[in-house]
Amino acid sequence: MVTHYKVAGHLACGHHGHNLVSTTDLARVKCRSCRNTEVFKEARREARNAARRAARRAKVAHAANDWRTAWQEKLTRMPGKQRLPRGFVNQPFV
Could you read off the pLDDT tens digit of each residue along the chain, which spans 94 residues? Answer: 899 999 988 899 988 888 999 999 999 999 999 999 999 999 999 999 999 999 888 776 666 567 777 877 887 787 777 766 655 666 655 5
* For the chain, domain boundaries: 3-77
In the chain, the N- to C-terminal Cα span, in Å, equals 63
- Output the pLDDT for position 69: 78
Q: Determine contact, residues 39/57, Cβ cutoff 8 Å.
A: no
For 3, phi then psi, to 5°, come to -105, 130
pTM > 0.85: no
